[in-house]
A and B are shown apart, each in its own frame.
Chain A
């Protein structure tokens, strides 16, 4: 099965005391195994809602989500969700934080922990395993959060603006690190972001959403050199062309 995720005519309506808001309207797309897909759109367009629906946290008002060809409604082990902030628990060591998904999912198999130790070593957190989150820098914390996300060996990673809480310098380097880890571990990823350049520098494919009620208005295959790191890709010649194109597209839709 080459298609890891498929959204079929997803719609979402919020009910509030002031009435109902149509957040998503007939959103359909699919993601291939190993692909890095970025979703961009104006703020408040329901980008995060798409991830919440895929993760099984909220039920869509209509449509279906298929993971590996099977319908999915509940949080699944196949999915790792990475949030805007690292959300590491300050009372747990980095290691205990990374083990959290195993505790929640009651995974006893020791091979999972060994894999985590290997990840700590590989991505420079070995000496900090026994440290508390407050003793680490923002970038290291985000790396630790990614390792936690990888704990239950999910195939599909959902990244909800995972770098937006970091300062610009850290943001670019952590984006590089996270991209590197995702590629090396052969994961499929969906990145939701409002940062066009972040999307171009990481994604194989970019989905552009309209404002509410959101639809997928365009899908672009990004033709930058995929062997380059996100940082290097920012220097490639077609980067600025893509930037301008997407920027216009978003702005035109926002009118």
Chain B
């Protein structure tokens, strides 16, 4: 710290404690992860657990290495990532647009309400067979699955965000003679930015559910496919390795959205 002399001794101590606490938390996170993997590895090596059923970190690493060598890993990751990102983007854009329409027209909102409620409560996996018949067994079906799972949540949360804008601010806009479009663009949309960002965070998870579920239903490639395939042929190493890859990918996508949040809310 360059400006040390400006602060009191107490403040410096306080800052140092805060910094130490941050370090402690980061260290604990890493230690837990390392302990988990180490324990798992030792248990598998000593025969406390059956590595055939439980796999082990070294076997996972070996599986991932083989997938990289055979060149298949990037194809699988590419396929699943494309499906997830496509589902995420389509559903977020369409959901927000529909929410805007529902905000715009109160009658439309009232008419659509029961449909949205039913679609929200419906387990989307039940539509699996219909989706396959309509869209075939491929990426289109999987993207569609990701879209319907993400879409309804987006509509509901964005519509709630739009409607929660306080009346006083709308009154102010109206007293200035603002048109409905001006109220939307100058008030409702900027007001809903924080809700939109938390919606994005939820949608990351939703899109992953959709794409993996879609791949369970119908696929010949992708991380979800690897998991299902590994399960069917009893290759738990493959299942575990795919799950680890999924964790990394989902985490990375979330981190990206968090970055967007940081940029969008910068003041």
Q: Using CB atoms and an 8 Å cutoff, list the residues of chain A in contact with chain B.
A: 55, 57, 74-77, 79, 81, 83-85, 87, 89, 91-92, 100-101, 103-105, 132, 152
Contacts and interface: CB of A to CB of B under 8 A. Distances in A.
B187 A75 contact: no
A171 B186 CA distance: 30
Contacts of A85: 168
Interface stretch (B47-55, B122-130, B173-181): B173-181
A80 to B, nearest CB: 8
Contacts of A91: 190-191, 193
Contacts of B182: 104
18 contacts: A74-B177, A75-B175, A75-B177, A79-B175, A83-B171, A83-B175, A84-B168, A85-B168, A87-B166, A87-B169, A87-B172, A89-B191, A91-B191, A92-B190, A100-B186, A104-B176, A104-B178, A105-B176
B168 A75 contact: no
Given A75-B176, A89-B190, A105-B177, 20 more contacts: A57-B171, A57-B174, A57-B175, A76-B177, A81-B171, A81-B172, A81-B175, A83-B168, A83-B171, A83-B172, A84-B168, A85-B168, A87-B171, A89-B169, A100-B186, A104-B176, A104-B182, A104-B186, A105-B176, A152-B176
Contacts of B190: 89, 91-92
Interface of B: 166, 168-169, 171-178, 182, 186-187, 190-191, 193, 267
Of the candidates A77, A81, A87, A89, the one having the most CB atoms from chain B within 10 angstroms of its own CB is A87
A52 to B, nearest CB: 8
Interface of A is mostly: loop
Contacts of B166: 87
Given A89-B187, A89-B190, A91-B190, A75 B171 contact: no
7 closest residue pairs by CB, A with B: A75-B177, A81-B175, A104-B176, A87-B172, A104-B178, A87-B168, A91-B190
Contacts of B186: 100, 103-104
B108 to A, nearest CB: 22
A128 to B, nearest CB: 14
Nearest to A90: B191
B169 A75 contact: no
A132 B175 CA distance: 23
Of the candidates B176, B186, B190, the one having the most CB atoms from chain A within 10 angstroms of its own CB is B176
Nearest to B182: A104
B173 A104 contact: yes
Contacts of B175: 55, 57, 75, 79, 81, 83
Of the candidates B172, B178, B190, B193, the one having the most CB atoms from chain A within 10 angstroms of its own CB is B172
B264 to A, nearest CB: 10
